């Protein structure tokens, strides 16, 4: 061997010996997800309903897994954050009575309307309260829209339309066209009615702009609904919230002497002002209230150089517990996809961050309670954050992880909201994959999972769903898989893990993607921002610029 070659070889060996090899990025396997998915969705966990033995089993399991992985407690020296709640059963008594000029009509509960209350008094009585039509019930300064302008609704019943004025216009500059804004979400309408001092609020149901049939609303009739326990910090609550069918609303408008088609058309135009209907409403609700405490489970990997800056991964651990049996007699609502899969992914990500090199920023793993009951676990965290919102860089939420095999795409829920989707797209492009807007933007899914509560306090939040562009069989096949899930498994006892039906190869790809996005952000100085036009930009700007 020539001396020059020998010398070069020796130098190369010396350099190699002096340089520590780079630690490879964690590579996820099906085994990282499957075992925990099977466990969490098993009958032993009793459907993971808050306030049940199933909750105790679930939260104890999550704590033990975080400990076994070597993660630190996320709430001081505890892995738990108590979430005080109240379960309220609202039982309307008799019909809802409408009167005008000595005449009257009656609406029948469940069939014509569904109402409930957040009040815990044993009886809520509404007697001859004035009814007012308030358009879409929206106050949106950034759109120059105020349905309550010049309208006194204090101690009155407001009737409002579902969704927002942009729906059906095909004009993406008018609100967001067919993409529902936060102002179109039913929860917002009740909150705004309360802010205006209304005594009650009824939303006119319409299947297409609502995104679901009235049968979904009827599921709340006489059923327990969970809320946060706000004793000692009470805010004004309306006497009732609820929905009225479109035929019943037309009946109301006709009784009030209004042309319903003309009235609804006017409500869609800028400058519309609500009007009193000259009708009074009476109804009574019997109330049963029970207080209890549920738990969020939280763990962390502390950052190396910026430990006081935080990235939060979330997934909800809860489902519907034991309920009405299906035709086979199965009464356990296992919730394998929704959301044992997301919770299993949370544990897998925790393992990866603990196994790989320590991140610069602190990474939080938050398994929240009561998502199915109204996003209450994440709402409580947002109101009582363990880590300051000003120091929280972003949230990445997981609610259902791809069970259908490898997909070329992912579906961005709430496309156009924040720069988090840009970071996602960078990683997708590296893999030869792509993102697409959610296929049903009218349904407002951005406001229907736990990331929404982080968005409400200004923290940029990313949530993407399973794509439809199947690697081998294309979009129509992928779409049919999702339609089959919604029609035959969603929120039903048979929503169980079935290795014959499930293919976790795509889940592995998506969890790897979530890891890359989070890891890059945890090891950078970047603070993602909300995009212009987002409903949440002003919130973040307000406290970050102080």
Looking at residue 23, what is its pLDDT? 55
Nearest to 511 by CA among 23, 29, 25: 29
Q: What's the pLDDT score for residue 20?
A: 40
CA-nearest of 97, 78, 175 to 136 is 175
How does residue 219 score in pLDDT terms, banded at 50, 70 and 90? Answer: confident
Give residue 448's pLDDT.
86
What one-character DSSP code corresponds to residue 130? Answer: E
Mean pLDDT of the chain: 92
pLDDT at 441 over 90: no
pLDDT > 70: what percent of the chain? 95
Distances (CA, A) of 437 to 413, 464, 534: 7, 9, 16
From 162, 167, 124, select the one nearest 282 (Cα to Cα). Answer: 124
H or E element, residue 475: helix 474-488
Q: Provide the pLDDT for residue 338.
A: 95
pLDDT at 257 exceeding the cut of 70: yes
Q: Cα–Cα distance between 534 and 191 in angstroms, integer? A: 19
Average pLDDT over residues 210-221: 86
Q: What is the per-residue pLDDT for 269?
A: 94
Higher pLDDT, 496 or 12: 496
Name the pLDDT band for 447 (thresholds 50, 70, 90).
Answer: confident
Q: Rounded to the nearest 5 degrees, what angle is found at the Cα of 477, between the Cα atoms of 471 and 482?
A: 105
pLDDT at residue number 319: 95
What average pLDDT does this structure show over 191-215? 94
Residue 387 CA: distances (Å) to CA of 346, 361, 381, 499, 545:
19, 13, 9, 39, 19
Q: Residues 282-292: what's their mean pLDDT?
A: 97
Answer yes or no: is pLDDT of 494 > 90.
Answer: yes
- Which pLDDT score is estimated for 215? 85
Q: What φ, ψ does residue 538 adopt, rounded to 5°?
A: -65, -30
Beta strands 332-333; 240-244: pairing state:
unpaired
Rounded average pLDDT over 331-335: 95
3-state secondary structure 43-77: HHHCCCCCCCHHHHHHHHHHHHHHHHHCCEECECC
pLDDT, tens digit, 9 for 90 and up, residues 39-83: 999 999 999 999 999 999 999 999 999 999 999 999 999 999 999
Is 86's pLDDT higher than 80?
yes
- C-alpha span between 90 and 109 (Å, rounded): 12
The residue that leads in pLDDT, 487 or 202, is 202
Phi (first) and psi of residue 178, to 5 degrees: -80, -5
pLDDT tens digit sequence for 129-153: 999 999 999 999 989 999 999 999 9
Non-local CB neighbours of 90 within 8 Å, separated by 6+ positions: 115, 116, 117, 222, 225, 240, 285, 286, 287
Residue 67's alpha-carbon distances to 37, 59, 72, 76, 83, in angstroms, are 18, 12, 7, 14, 21
**Residue 366: strand pairing partners:** 298, 314
| C-alpha span between 28 and 33 (Å, rounded) | 9
Count of helices and strands (H, E) across the chain:
15, 20
Read off the DSSP letter of residue 523: T
Task: Determine the Cα–Cα distance for residues 40 and 37; give it in Å rounded to an integer.
Answer: 5
**What backbone phi and psi angles, to 5 degrees, belong to 4?**
-65, -35
Containing 156, the helix (H) or strand (E) segment is none
pLDDT at 9: 40
CA distance 371 to 400: 13
Q: How confident is the model at residue 173, as a pLDDT? A: 87
Question: What average pLDDT does range 334-359 have in this prediction?
Answer: 97
Query: What value, to the nearest 5°, has the Cα angle with vertex 353 and ends 349 and 356?
Result: 130
pLDDT mean over 516-535: 95
d(CA 317, CA 342): 8
What gap in Å lies between CA 162 and CA 150, rounded to an integer? 21
Strand partners, 412: 437, 464
The answer, yes or no, to whether residue 372 has pLDDT greater than 60, is yes
* Cα dihedral 340, 345, 351, 352 in deg (nearest 10): 170
Which tokens sit at 179? Answer: 């993409």
Report in angstroms the alpha-carbon separations of 499 from 87, 246, 401: 36, 43, 15
Please determine, for residue 367, whether its predicted confidence score (pLDDT) is greater than 70: yes
Report the pLDDT averaged over residues 366-382: 95
Q: Are 252 and 204 in contact (CB under 8 A)?
A: no
Average pLDDT over residues 500-524: 97
Q: What is the residue whose two structure tokens read 């609700």? A: 285
Helix axes 505-522, 420-430, angle to 10 degrees: 120
Q: Summarize the confidence of residues 241-260 as an average pLDDT.
A: 97
């Amino acid at each position: 061997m020539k001396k020059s070659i020998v010398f070069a070889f020796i130098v190369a060996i010396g350099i190699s010996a002096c340089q520590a090899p780079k630690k490879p990025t964690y590579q996820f396997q099906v085994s990282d997800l499957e075992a925990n998915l099977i466990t969490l969705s098993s009958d032993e966990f009793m459907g993971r309903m808050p306030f049940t033995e199933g909750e105790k089993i679930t939260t104890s399991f999550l704590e033990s897994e975080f400990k076994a992985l070597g993660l630190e407690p996320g709430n001081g020296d505890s892995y738990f954050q108590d979430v005080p709640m109240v379960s309220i059963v609202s039982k309307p008594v008799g019909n809802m009575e409408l009167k005008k000029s000595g005449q009257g009509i009656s609406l029948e509960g469940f069939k014509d309307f569904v109402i409930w209350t957040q009040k815990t008094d044993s009886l809520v009585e509404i007697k001859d309260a004035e009814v007012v039509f308030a358009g879409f019930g929206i106050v949106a300064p950034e759109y120059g829209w105020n349905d309550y302008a010049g309208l006194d609704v204090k101690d009155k019943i407001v009737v409002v339309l579902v969704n927002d004025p942009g729906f059906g216009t095909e004009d993406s500059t008018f609100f967001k066209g067919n993409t529902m804004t936060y102002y179109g979400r039913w929860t917002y309408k009740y909150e705004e009615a309360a802010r205006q001092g209304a005594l009650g609020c009824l939303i006119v149901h319409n299947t297409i702009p609502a995104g679901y049939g009235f049968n979904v609303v009827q599921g709340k009739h006489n059923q327990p609904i969970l809320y946060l326990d706000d004793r000692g910090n009470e805010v004004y609550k309306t006497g009732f919230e609820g929905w009225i069918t479109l035929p019943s609303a037309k009946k109301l408008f006709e009784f009030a002497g209004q042309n319903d088609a003309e009235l609804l058309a006017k409500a869609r135009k800028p400058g519309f002002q609500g009007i009193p209907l000259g009708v009074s409403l009476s109804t009574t609700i019997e109330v049963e209230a029970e207080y209890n405490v549920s738990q969020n489970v939280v763990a962390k990997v502390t950052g190396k150089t910026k430990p006081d800056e935080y990235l939060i991964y979330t997934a909800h651990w809860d489902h519907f517990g034991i309920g009405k049996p299906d035709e086979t007699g199965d009464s356990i609502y296992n919730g394998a996809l929704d959301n044992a899969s997301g919770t299993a992914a949370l544990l897998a990500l925790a393992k990866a961050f603990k196994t790989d090199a320590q991140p610069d920023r602190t990474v939080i793993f938050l398994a929240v309670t009561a998502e199915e009951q109204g996003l209450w676990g994440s709402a409580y965290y947002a109101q009582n954050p363990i880590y300051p919102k000003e120091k929280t860089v972003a949230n990445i939420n997981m609610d259902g992880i791809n069970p259908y095999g490898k997909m070329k795409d992912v579906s961005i829920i709430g496309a156009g909201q924040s720069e988090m989707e840009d970071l996602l797209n960078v990683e997708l492009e590296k893999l030869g994959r792509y993102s697409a807007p959610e296929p049903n933007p009218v349904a407002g899914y951005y406001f229907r999972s736990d990331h929404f509560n982080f968005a409400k306090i200004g923290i940029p939040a990313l949530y993407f769903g399973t794509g439809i562009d199947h690697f081998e069989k294309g979009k129509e096949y992928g779409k049919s898989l999702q339609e089959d899930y919604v029609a035959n498994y969603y929120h039903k006892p048979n929503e169980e893990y079935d290795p014959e039906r499930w293919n976790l190869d795509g889940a592995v790809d998506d969890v790897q993607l979530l890891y890359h996005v989070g890891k890059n952000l945890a090891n950078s100085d970047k603070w993602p921002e909300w995009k212009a036009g987002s409903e949440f930009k002003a919130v973040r700007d307000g406290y970050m610029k102080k």
